[in-house]
Amino acid sequence: MGRGFAVERLGPDGLDRLRQLNDLFGAVFDDRDSYCRRPPDNAYAARLLAREDTILLAALSGEAMIGALAAYVLPKFEQARSEIYIYDLAVVPDWRRRGVATALIDEGANGQVLDMPFALPAAGVHHAWVEIPAAPDGGVARV
């Protein structure tokens, strides 16, 4: 944690962190309606957290969540390989431009915090995709 934060993968016992992750996405994306209004019940959340093809990572400074990543492993049909699709990636404003998003992507994709039976490219994961929406001013959104 020499950089001031650590990255951890949410696992089956990560229900409280999942709630924090939703709060962080809702605040950073200014979309509490989507992320916080109707959270999944505990049983659904536990099933989600146990899935190996769902990647939920948190960047933590102490106990404070400062960034998060939600991604999915997608098996492909055209070849025996998979891709990782990064669906949500957010960093709180005070921690931007300090390597948090890069660490979430790098450490997650390289399997250092995934604790999964695969990592890029050892398990046939061929690409990792990041969706980058337009910013309100028409430019590229930055984290």
pLDDT at 58 over 90: yes
pLDDT at 143 over 70: no
pLDDT at 23 over 80: yes
Q: Using pLDDT thresholds of 50, 70 and 90, give the confidence band for residue 136.
A: low
> CA-CA distance, 92 to 104, in Å (whole number)?
13
Written in H, E and C, the secondary structure of the chain is CCCCCEEEECCCCCHHHHHHHHHHHHHHCCCHHHHHCCCCCHHHHHHHHHCCCEEEEEEEECCEEEEEEEEEEEECCCCCCEEEEEEEEEECHHHCCCCHHHHHHHHHHCCCCCCCCCCCCCCCEEEEEECCCECCCCCECCC
105 touches 90 (CB < 8 A): no
Q: Using pLDDT thresholds of 50, 70 and 90, give the confidence band for residue 108.
A: low
- Its pTM stands at 0.78
> CA-CA distance, 48 to 131, in Å (whole number)?
21
Tokens representing 114 are 């995934």
Span 117-132, pLDDT tens digits:
444 444 444 445 455 5
